[in-house]
Structure 1
Amino acid sequence: MAIVRETLVYDGPGGPFEGVVAYDDEVETARPGVLICPNVLGQKEADNVTAEKLAALGYVAFACDVFGQGRRARREDADMARYMNEMLADRAQLRDRLAASLGVLTGMSRVAPAKVAAIGYCFGGLCVLDLARSGQAILGGVSFHGVYGRPDYANVEPIAAKLLVAHGWDDPLGPPQAVVALAAELTEAGADWQLHAYGHAGHAFTDESAKDSGRPGFGYEERADRRSWAAMQGFLRELFV
């Protein structure tokens, strides 16, 4: 097994964009693809590492970019969420940028275009839900400690993509009423959905760089991280049968 990482610059609405693809170059046949949607900071090394982990599981993984090339945030920035907030204010443009990123993945010769999924973290979890809501060509998606608010355009009905929502129960960005509202929305739209809620875990429970966040309801939680990754693996195996 030889995992290869490549940087890709690609076009899209408001582009250019810059992402990273990872794959096992010893596999010659087309295989399932997984789109990785980054968190509030944008495309970064942690997403590239996730892409490599998915490549080791047998997938072609593409850590995409929806903010634009060179537009990245840092935790220490006073306005860390500025690029995310731009996208939250224009969900239609976010939808179109996600579609462009997905098109890059499905257009790769190493990818079986009918076997594609998406995963995302925090804001990226919202991106996964929006891919499903807008009827993009994914078989399924996994949202890790995502944001659940609906876009200002109508969902496709039924939502064809199967969904796994991995949720930290103490997440202040996803209080119980938001989780119930998401469940009602997905049920109304006819989606095949499941929710895994992890006790004593909050927002960013997969993010090892947030071990000492100092903010109640935010930070890394090893058990939730481990269990949600295992749940994702089972979900993808079932999805790509």
Structure 2
Amino acid sequence: MTTITTRPVEYPADGLTMVGHLALPAGTGRRPAVLLGPEGTGLGDVERRRADALAELGYVALAFDLHGGRYLSNPEEMLARCLPLLDDPDRMRGIGHAALDVLRAEPRTDPDRIAGIGYGTGGAIVLELGRAGVDLRAIGTVNATTTGRPGEAARIRCPVWAGVGSEDPIMPPAQREAFTAEMQGAGVDWRLVVYGGALHAFHHPTVDHPVVPGVGYHPRHAQRAWHDVLGLLAECLPVTE
């Protein structure tokens, strides 16, 4: 098995000391990199394992933090922090830029070859980086068909892939339609995959989620969404020696 190295990284953002998870592939040369954003609950073992899996494929991967090293398993606490954040594109961009700076500063990172992948709130943050004009090779989101401020999607400079559950009450059909209209109107190279029967956060094992209406794990679609994310990276950010 390919040997990877991992370590926590601390950095300031949103008035907090964030604690991200950096995963480095084997070798010493520069590699393409992936910024990985977590669900609204925050950075947990699920996202750390995904970053590790990306490193095993040859990517430098940084799973970034949302809550200053905390994992908000209490739904009320999570919503109290995330809802104001999701209503403030500048705050989201601040969190994303801070993590992106850490990733770019890593010597193993090829700073010209970075993609952003995110889930839920983390996906909304990655999309805001695109709307801010950040030079990313690809943007992939799961259950984050969020829209931005009028006209700013035209700054997105890379393909956008989005996945969402058909039964997701947080990202319902009207929200998905608004998102696709925004992408299409801005001339973005976009794709949307709707996973039949899946709820919100269908990609996230229930062991880390309290029982919340409209939220549920769908193992088959979780695997499919991960394969779709890897396909996006293989197309737009291939690992080459």
Q: Same fold (TM over 0.5)?
A: yes
Distance 1:212 1:34 in 2: 25
Number of the residue aligned with 1:236: 233
- Tell me which of 180, 196, 221 is aligned to 2:177: 180
Say which is worse superposed, 9-18 or 183-192, in terms of deviation: 9-18
Residue 202 of structure 1, aligned match among 190, 199, 203: 199
How far is 1:214 from its partner? 5.2
How many residues align structurally?
A: 237
Match of 1:91? 89
Matches within 5 A, 1:7-46: 7-24=8-25, 26-46=26-46
Q: What is the deviation of 1:208?
A: 0.8
Q: CA deviation at 1:2?
A: 1.2
Alignment of 1:14-163 (within 5 A): 14-24=15-25, 26-67=26-67, 69-74=68-73, 76=74, 78-148=76-146, 150-152=147-149, 154-163=151-160
1:168 and 2:168 aligned: no
Deviations 1:142-193 (A, max 9, x none): 1012251x33475152421211101111100111111111011011111111
SS in 2 for 1:151: coil
- Contact kept, 8 Å, 2:165 with 2:202, in 1: the verdict is yes
**CA-atom RMSD, angstroms?**
2.1
Once residues 215 and 101 of structure 1 are traced to their aligned partners in structure 2, the CA distance between those partners, rounded to angstroms, is 29
Q: CA deviation at 1:212?
A: 8.4
Verify the 8 A CA contact 1:35 1:61 in the aligned structure 2: yes
* Structure with the higher fraction of residues in helix conformation: 2
1:195, CA displacement in angstroms? 0.7
Q: Distance in 1 between matches of 2:233 and 2:81?
A: 30
* Structure with higher RCO (Cα < 8 A, 6+ apart): 2
Equivalent pair of 2:138/2:237 in contact (CA under 8 Å): no
Give the letter for the 2:54 counterpart: L
Match of 2:220 among 199, 209, 223: 223
Identity %: 31
Which segments of 5 or more consecutive residues in structure 2 lack a partner in the other structure? Answer: none
Runs of 4+ aligned residues of structure 1 deviating over 4 Å after TM superposition are: 210-216
SS in 2 for 1:96: helix
In the alignment, the residues of structure 1 paired with residue 228 and residue 205 of structure 2 have an alpha-carbon distance, to the nearest angstrom, of 18
- Over 3 Å counting, the alpha-carbon distance change for 1:189 and 1:77 in structure 2 is closer
1:58 Cα offset (Å): 1.1
Do 2:51 and 2:61's aligned partners in 1 also have CA atoms closer than 8 Å?
yes
Task: Give structure 1 stretches of 5+ with no counterpart.
Answer: none
